[in-house]
Amino acid sequence: MLILVTDAHIRDNTAAAADFLAMLERIADSQHDVVFLGDIVDLWVALQNFPNAFGQDLLDWCCQQKERRFVAYLEGNHEFFVHRHHGEDFSSSSELALAWGDCVFMHGDRIHIVSLLTAFILWLAKSWLGYTAMRWTPGAPAITAWMKSKLSSEARGIADNLPEEAVRPWAEREDRRYPGRQVFVGHFHVPAEWAFASGGAFRVVPAWKNGQLVGLFDPETGAYQTGSWRELLG
């Protein structure tokens, strides 16, 4: 079985962080593979001058567990340089998308761009210019946290939303290009599932932060369900 986890938005030293680590312990006791679809950490800049205790705990767990199971990580739009600097800590990782058998995983933030400004800011932050600024600017962690607090959907009062009029046509085009693929994304927080005549499907995995939900997929049968990790993982 494959566990899919996305959009936990964990912050250091919170009850949610403790619950997430408890879930990792439960996964470690299972035989399941796991894919993290991004934005697991609320703001994760994987550089030496940006300490993040929860992020380090997650890396340590993944590095250990990749010897026992498939552990994949898709970088979200709240995470920076995780794939580039820590790719060796996972079985597989990517800033964009990765394939595993008939499955394709991505965070999903590139499917529907809210504005060109948003796209430019994300590109700039993940470029070598962004790297240089965040690595060497005095007070970069505080500046970055301030900017995130102003630009986040939460700060701007934007509710979770799935723009189906944009996302579903994208999924249908992908199915025509690559029929039969099982596509899993996060980012939108709101669960959705569309099955296609080719046998392929597109699924938005629900955000972990909303009730500690995960997805559970059986690659052999194609069965998929979502629910609280405590219920699905026994």
CATH number at residue 64: 3.60.21.50
Closest by CA position to 140, among listed 51, 38, 33, 30: 51
* Amino acid code (one letter) for 77: N
146 φ/ψ angles, rounded to the nearest 5 degrees: -65, -45
> Please, which residues have CB within 8 angstroms of residue 75's CB and are 6 or more apart in sequence?
38, 82, 83, 93, 94, 95, 107
Q: Specify the pLDDT at position 155.
A: 59
Residue 158 has a pLDDT of 67
Q: How many domains does the chain have?
A: 1
pTM score, two decimals?
0.94
pLDDT (0 to 100) of residue 24: 98
Tokens standing for residue 161? 């939303």
State how far Cα 156 lies from the chain centre.
21
Please check whether residue 119 lies inside any domain of the structure: no
- Give the domain extent around 57: 2-111+157-232
Tell me, yes or no, whether 168 lies in a domain. Answer: yes
Residue 179 lies in a domain: yes
Look at residue 219 and tell me if it is in a domain. yes
Give dist(CA 89, CA 144) in Å, integer: 25
Is residue 23 in a domain? yes
Q: Is residue 211 part of a domain?
A: yes
Are the C-beta atoms of 135 and 128 separated by less than 8 Å?
no
For 18-54, give one letter per residue: b (16+ CB within 10 A) or e: eebeebbeebeeeebbbbbbbbbbbbbbbbeebebeb
* The amino acid at 30: S
φ, ψ of residue 194 to 5 degrees: the values are: -125, 120
In a domain, 117, yes or no: no
Q: Which residues contact 116 (CB under 8 A, 6 or more apart)?
A: none
* Burial classification of residue 75, based on how many CB atoms lie within 10 Å of its CB (0-12 exposed, 13-18 middle, 19 or more buried): buried
Predicted local confidence at residue 53, as pLDDT? 95
Per-residue pLDDT of the chain (234 residues; tens, 9 = 90+): 999 999 999 999 999 999 999 999 999 999 999 999 999 999 999 999 999 999 999 999 999 999 999 999 999 999 999 999 999 999 999 999 999 999 999 999 999 887 787 888 888 889 999 999 999 999 998 988 888 877 776 756 667 888 999 999 999 999 999 999 999 999 999 999 999 999 999 999 999 999 999 999 999 999 999 999 999 998
Residue 118 lies in a domain: no
